[in-house]
């Protein structure tokens, strides 16, 4: 039976605060528009049984790259599962269905299988060493007939039906990168869904370590805006106060329109792999200004990386900063229907003087880290 999972359930993630009340700046500025509906409506109701998916391999339960992590040309559309740089672990069909596509390339995903499920959703498995039995035989025959290694072919539903838990392939290192398993979940329109929204997938993880907030950047968004009296991006290392609390070493003087970005990472326990954080919230004086969650991506919007990551900081050695504001033209469905401009600090809307900035971030296990610091709002003449 297909259960209908509503958007309200999907957005009730661990750590949601009560700051988004009637007086919050998010509600005050919230205006729906045609493009917002186009971006979010495909995900308002996910017609699939999220509890029906299983972890796709016994190689490990270690994630080396998360959903929507940075890639040079796109946002990561699935998760990468560690195989400890070894090959040959079984890959399981995450649900009942049939092998709907085989893709083989010397680059990119290497050897990949797509399984389509009865409700139209699909799962994808990439960087495979080889396919299971009859699938592998079919692929080799096709390669021999076409005299080509590369292959991309859609398959009839009757050819390779699979049941949940069936071995369909083995992990490898084909394509680009060391040995690992790339795993994706997509809806019936082929939009990527965060696999860690699946209860049985998420429950395999053992994570009690909160995210790490490493740096914060303040960006003047027009020529009349200033940070510490200058019209240029200012980035600063955070100061750790305890296990999951951070601050900055000095108050930050702002004027005009300012955008905040953070360099933050998450990892499970003491493992070396660092991935992106799942959720962010920004508030000033207890009023919610911005929120985001990496639940899904429109297939058509997976490539504008600069909409989410600060392009100017990517060119430096300071790393990958995630924008905590929605710029004009951003069509990523991360922001709970917030309109363009959300998250931008307009200092003219605040009383001159000191205000408390709080940035909170969570992983999908609900571990939270916060950064709290003082902003000094005022006109440029005060600097």
Tokens describing residue 331: 């069509």
Q: Does the structure show a pLDDT above 60 at 203?
A: yes
**Structural domain ending residue among the three candidates 175, 202, 229:** 202
45 in any annotated domain = no
Residues 255 and 340 in one domain: yes
Of 147 and 18, more confident: 147
Stretch 28-36: mean pLDDT:
61
Give the Cβ contact number of residue 72 at 10 Å.
Answer: 6
pLDDT per residue as tens digits for the range 298-308 = 988 878 888 89
The kind and range of the H/E element at 223 are none
Residues 190 and 224 in one domain: no
Distance CA 339, CA 31 (A): 6
197 in any annotated domain = yes
Q: What is the DSSP letter of 72?
A: S
42 in any annotated domain = no
Residues 154 and 280 in one domain: no
Residues 21 and 55 in one domain: no
Q: Does the structure show a pLDDT above 50 at 27?
A: no
Residues 23 and 126 in one domain: no
Give the Cβ contact number of residue 340 at 10 Å.
Answer: 18
Into how many domains does the chain fold? 2
- Report pLDDT for 23: 42
Of 205 and 349, more confident: 349
Give the Cβ contact number of residue 243 at 10 Å.
Answer: 8
Stretch 139-146: mean pLDDT:
95
C-alpha distances in angstroms, 265 versus 29, 65, 286, 347, 361?
29, 11, 24, 29, 10
Domain region containing 84: 50-202
> ∠ CA 111-116-120 to the nearest 5 degrees?
145
96 in any annotated domain = yes
Per residue in 139-157, is it b (16+ CB within 10 Å) or e — as a string? beeeeeeeeeeeeeeebee
Q: Does the structure show a pLDDT above 50 at 96?
A: yes
Distance CA 102, CA 175 (A): 14
Stretch 205-218: mean pLDDT:
91
- Report pLDDT for 207: 82
85 in any annotated domain = yes
Residues 184 and 259 in one domain: no
Specify the CATH number for the domain of residue 127. Answer: 2.70.70.10
Residues 305 and 170 in one domain: no
Distance CA 284, CA 268 (A): 30
Q: What are phi and psi of 28, to 5 degrees?
A: -60, -35
Distance CA 345, CA 358 (A): 13
The residues, ordered by sequence, that sit 6+ positions from 225 with a Cβ below 8 Å of its Cβ are 231, 254, 255, 256, 257, 258
- Report pLDDT for 301: 84
22 in any annotated domain = yes
Per residue in 7-33, is it b (16+ CB within 10 Å) or e — as a string? beebeebeeeeebbeeebbbeebeeee
Under 8 Å between Cβ of 184 and 123: yes
6 in any annotated domain = no
Stretch 270-284: mean pLDDT:
86
Residues 23 and 105 in one domain: no
**Structural domain ending residue among the three candidates 148, 183, 202:** 202
Stated pTM of the model? 0.88
Residues 156 and 90 in one domain: yes
Per residue in 280-311, is it b (16+ CB within 10 Å) or e — as a string? bbbbbeebbbbbbbbbbbbeebbeebebbbbe
**Structural domain ending residue among the three candidates 202, 226, 249:** 202
The residues, ordered by sequence, that sit 6+ positions from 327 with a Cβ below 8 Å of its Cβ are 259, 307, 340
Total length of the chain: 383
- Report pLDDT for 26: 52
Share of the chain above pLDDT 70, in %: 89
C-alpha distances in angstroms, 203 versus 14, 55, 91, 148, 195?
14, 9, 18, 41, 11
- Report pLDDT for 292: 97
Per residue in 347-365, is it b (16+ CB within 10 Å) or e — as a string? beebeeeebebbbbbbbbb
Give the Cβ contact number of residue 176 at 10 Å.
Answer: 12
Residues 229 and 358 in one domain: yes
The kind and range of the H/E element at 314 are helix 311-314
The residues, ordered by sequence, that sit 6+ positions from 38 with a Cβ below 8 Å of its Cβ are none
Q: Does the structure show a pLDDT above 60 at 355?
A: yes
- Report pLDDT for 33: 66
Q: Are strands 239-242 and 151-154 parallel, antiparallel or unpaired?
A: unpaired
Bridge partners for 184 per DSSP: 124
Residues 101 and 186 in one domain: yes
Residues 165 and 239 in one domain: no
């Amino acid at each position: 039976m297909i259960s209908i999972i509503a958007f309200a359930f999907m957005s009730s993630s661990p750590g949601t605060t009560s700051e988004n009340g009637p007086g919050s700046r998010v509600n005050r500025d919230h205006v729906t528009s045609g493009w917002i509906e186009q971006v979010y409506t495909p995900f308002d109701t996910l017609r699939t049984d999220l509890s029906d998916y299983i972890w796709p391999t016994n190689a490990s339960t270690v994630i080396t790259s998360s959903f929507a992590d940075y890639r040079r040309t796109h946002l990561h559309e699935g998760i990468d599962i560690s195989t400890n740089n070894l090959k040959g672990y079984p890959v399981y069909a995450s649900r009942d269905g049939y092998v709907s596509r085989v893709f083989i390339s010397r680059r990119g995903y290497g050897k990949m299988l797509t399984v389509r499920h009865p409700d139209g959703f699909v799962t994808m498995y990439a960087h495979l060493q080889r396919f299971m039995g009859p699938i592998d035989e079919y692929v080799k025959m096709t390669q021999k007939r076409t005299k080509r290694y590369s292959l991309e072919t859609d398959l009839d539903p009757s050819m390779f039906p699979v049941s949940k838990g069936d071995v369909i392939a083995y992990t490898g290192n084909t394509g680009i990168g060391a040995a690992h398993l790339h795993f994706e979940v997509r809806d019936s329109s082929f939009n990527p869904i965060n696999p860690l929204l699946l209860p049985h997938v998420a429950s395999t993880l053992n994570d009690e370590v909160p995210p790490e907030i490493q740096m914060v950047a303040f960006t003047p968004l027009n020529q009349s805006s200033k940070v510490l009296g200058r019209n240029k991006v200012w980035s600063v290392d955070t100061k750790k106060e305890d296990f999951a609390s951070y601050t900055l070493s000095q108050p930050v003087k702002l004027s005009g329109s300012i955008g905040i970005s953070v360099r933050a990472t998450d990892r499970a326990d003491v493992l070396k792999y660092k991935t992106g954080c799942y959720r962010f919230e920004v508030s000033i004086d207890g009023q919610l200004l911005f929120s985001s969650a990496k639940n899904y991506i429109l297939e058509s919007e997976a490539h504008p990386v600069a909409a989410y990551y600060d392009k100017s900081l990517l060119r430096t050695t300071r790393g990958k900063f995630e924008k905590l504001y929605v710029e004009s033209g951003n069509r990523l469905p991360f922001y709970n229907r917030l309109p363009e401009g959300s998250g931008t600090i307009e200092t003219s809307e605040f009383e001159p003087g000191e205000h408390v900035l709080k940035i909170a971030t969570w992983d999908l296990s609900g571990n939270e880290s916060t950064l709290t610091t003082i902003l000094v709002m005022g006109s440029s003449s005060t600097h």
